[in-house]
Amino acid sequence: MKIPTKIYFFKKTFAFIGGRGHAHRVAAARNIVFSFMLAAAVGSAYAADLPSKISAPVFTPPPPPPAYDWTGFYVGVNVGYGIDHFAFPYIISSPTPGAVFQGRSGITATGPVGGVQAGFNYQFPFGLVLGVELDNDWSGIRGQTTVNGAMVSGGFGSATFGSKFQDFATARGRIGYALDRFMIYFTGGATVGSVNTYYSAATTAPFSASGSSTATRSGLLPHVGVIGIGAEYAIAKNLTIKAEYLYDFINARNTSYNTPAGTVNFGTRTMYHIARVGLNYKFDWLSPAPAPVVAKY
């Protein structure tokens, strides 16, 4: 049976105290020293088996990246498509008595648009975004119609009327609400556009004429202007994409041409529904600097 270390130590001590003779005392002292060494070794081994009171290092994940901020200047490009349909009256008359050809028709104008834009946004802490934007687009929106009919005098007449929306520019304010990288917005402002109207007409009066004119039309809300809605998403720190709908309207006008053979009069309108997508590059000028991300261990 194994004798516990402490009992063994006390037995050796007793033997040392009670022993006789020098040799016996030397042997007893040697046994006591050995007992101390054995007790220290056993204690160290026992302590090594105890659970550590020092906890393992804990990893604290870095905080999430800061929310996207829309504040800053930007420039970009856009492409889209426009459409409109309008009805109008027309009348063709010549000095010959009864040589009048008149009625009512309509034009459906469609075509692509594309151009550039630039603007500035400022985001408030609660998600409200206010901004301004300028754009200039080339337009291929155009349409024409041909009408045929009888004149008051009994003759026959035919005419073609057309309209081309050549280019337009807008200056708009924007008000939006941001949900981190996604923003919806309303926009509205002033517009200016270059419109070409043309015609060709012939009757049995006889009457034959053709012509065209180009005019720049502009104005401010509410009579002339542009309104719309849109959504924009930040696909990268400095790159956003957008989709928007604009209603660009320049009021209807009556166009009149005086020719040696007579007069041609018909109505035109420049009011287009435009859907387009765009790509913007946002500069960091005036944008708040992001907070540094620090990992804690």
Q: Examine the domain organization and report whether 77 and 45 are in the same domain.
A: no
Query: Which DSSP letter does residue 95 get?
Result: S
Q: What is the pLDDT of residue 42?
A: 54
Q: In percent, how much of the chain has pLDDT > 90?
A: 48
Same domain, 192 and 231: yes
**Each residue of 240-253: pLDDT tens digit?**
999 999 999 887 78
What phi and psi values does residue 47 have, to the nearest 5 degrees? -65, -35
Q: Provide the number of structural domains found in the chain.
A: 2
Q: How far is CA 294 from CA 147, 184, 267, in A?
A: 74, 32, 67
In a domain, 56, yes or no: no
Label residue 153 by pLDDT band (50, 70, 90): confident
Residues 115 and 41 in one domain: no
33 and 103 share one domain: no
How many CA atoms does the CB half-sphere of 57 hold within 13 Å?
5
- Rounded mean pLDDT, 29-37: 61
30 and 85 belong to one structural domain: no
> Does 119 lie in the same domain as 21?
no
Task: Identify the weakest region by mean pLDDT among 68-77, 98-107, 287-296.
Answer: 287-296
Q: State whether 178 and 35 are in the same domain.
A: no
Tell me the residue range of the domain where 9 lies. 5-49
Whether residue 234 is contained in a domain is answered as yes
Dihedral, 37, 43, 46, 48 alpha carbons, nearest 10: -90
Clarify whether residues 82 and 226 are in a common domain: yes
How many angstroms separate the CA atoms of 201 and 158, rounded?
6
CATH of the domain at 131: 2.40.160
Give the number of other Cβ atoms within 10 Å of residue 128's Cβ.
12
Is residue 109 located within the same domain as residue 149?
yes
Q: Is residue 229 part of a domain?
A: yes
Domain match, 41 and 76 both:
no
82-136 per-position pLDDT tens digit: 999 989 999 988 777 767 888 999 999 999 999 999 999 999 999 999 999 999 9
